[in-house]
A and B are shown apart, each in its own frame.
Chain A
């Protein structure tokens, strides 16, 4: 792999950029792989990357029914934070956050991780208590957060109306080292690195069946033919239930549409990510200048990647109230993605009822921020055949035992 650098750009500029090589190859699938990963989104690619990097397993195919990074990796609001309340969540999201910090260097691909800080507004006394609790837990979990005053909120975000007639800002949970990254670049950077390790990324290849013998997986049928494997990793969103059905099991999960939108670009006006759960809205400003805004999920099963407009309304009115100067700005584009929501709204990572078949799904609205941590944990699970400490508590058995990982406890549900 030829390294990217300012020097490389200068070199290529001399020949009008005609000498750049492919970021990743598009090979035909081989007959058999050690590991087949279904889903070339951020999570699938990260799983592949850490299989190679941490375990030296590189005879890997990542198969994707559409284009790589084209699911929720490419349609989220790019927030990265780890200020979760429950231990297992804090652990995996903090792992992810710390991996994001060095991802550009690790992948030699600038994913533009921007640790600009994330604040979650407390707008009721109840929310204050919830966030103060989180700050206490985070301190013991090794996650650096603090509860800050309304004055400090205003200092960080001067355009905020902290004296809203409806909900005054009473403070915020602040994670200074949280932030955003360029979502597409995360997928592309991983893809380039995986391809460089000799892994095969096979796009426009849909799984049509899961092959099994004696309770163990042996391969998959795809639109590109049969592909055999020793181990199968299902790492998809919006399609996990469907895949699981092919493999003969059901998941405690439903698929719903989640929406987001952006404004037209303006000059910088908000330097941090703001999440306001009481009024349901969150907003940051991309490096291009667009305000990136997240909305809510629909209350019904849906695979259309279109959501209902009233969620956009609810989010926008909350943000206009919170940031009055945005009223005359305009919505440029709205879109939806399909998220898989589990019974406790936390993800599932681990073994399945089918031997040598592993699953990583159900990230709901929180998938992007977890990508490297999720990939790390999943790679370990696949390589060792058993979940390691990061993944152990996210297994399917928690629904039988009632051992939930419920994050709605302190901090609303938005991510």
Chain B
């Protein structure tokens, strides 16, 4: 039963107020992309045992999408941040590194 802080509302939102949206920072491939690119975009998902960047929507709250850096083994949430980003911002990276100095970083 997760709780995540909605960066827009500033409240700790219960999992039942939220909707998980899978991997964050996907790059959309449209017409003109190769079959491989398109398949990767639609289906190939990071599925790490450990640090994961993902999308959530505060569905019965403000209705906004946000991103979370979360550990899939411990469920620790390092940070939540704006969905209007194409990769995790530095402070989020730092927050993860602070807990896991040997973490390989976002790729």
The short answer to whether A and B are in direct contact, CB under 8 Å, is yes
Query: Which of B5-13, B37-45, B78-86, B96-104 faces chain A?
Result: B37-45
Q: Is A299 an interface residue (CB 8 A)?
A: yes
A149 at the B interface (CB under 8 A): no
> Which residues of chain A have C-beta atoms less than 8 A from B54's C-beta?
300-301
Which B-chain residue is minimally distant from A343 (CB atoms)? Answer: B43
Are A310 and B16 in contact, CB atoms less than 8 angstroms apart? yes
Check A400–B36 contact: CB distance below 8 A.
Answer: yes
With both chains docked as a complex, state the minimum distance between the C-beta of B66 and any C-beta of chain A, in angstroms: 14
Counting chain A residues whose Cβ lies within 8 A of the other chain, the interface size class is 20 to 34
Task: Count A-B contacts at CB 8 Å.
Answer: 56
Q: CA A250 – CA B40 in complex, angstroms?
A: 9
Q: Is the CB of A251 within 8 A of B20?
A: no
Assembly CA distance A298 to B56 (angstroms): 13
Say yes or no: A399-B1 contact (C-beta < 8 A), given A241-B47, A299-B19, A301-B72: no
- Please judge, given known A-B contacts A308-B1, A309-B1, A310-B1, whether A253 and B19 are in contact too, CB under 8 Å: no
**What residue of chain A has the Cβ atom nearest to residue B74's Cβ?**
A304
Q: Which residues of A contact B39 (CB under 8 A)?
A: 252, 399-400
Question: Please, how many angstroms separate the alpha-carbon atoms of A354 and B47 in the complex?
Answer: 20
CB of A303 closer than 8 Å to a CB of B: yes
Chain A residues with Cβ below 8 Å from B15 are 308, 310
Q: Are A250 and B44 in contact (CB under 8 A)?
A: yes
Query: Cβ of A163 < 8 Å from any Cβ of B?
Result: no
**A134 close to B (CB within 8 Å):** no
What is the chain A residue whose CB lies nearest that of B38? Answer: A400
Query: Are B43 and A252 in touch, CB under 8 angstroms?
Result: yes
Interface string of A287-320 (1 = CB under 8 A from B): 0000000000011111110001110000000000
B2 CB contacts on chain A under 8 angstroms: 300, 308
The residues in B between 35 and 65 inclusive whose CB is less than 8 angstroms from any CB of A are 35-36, 39-40, 42-45, 47-49, 52, 54
Chain B contacts for A380, CB-based, 8 A: none
Judged by a CB distance under 8 angstroms, whether A200 is at the interface is no
9 residue pairs bridging A and B, Cβ less than 8 Å apart: A250-B40, A252-B43, A252-B45, A301-B72, A302-B72, A302-B75, A304-B73, A308-B1, A309-B1
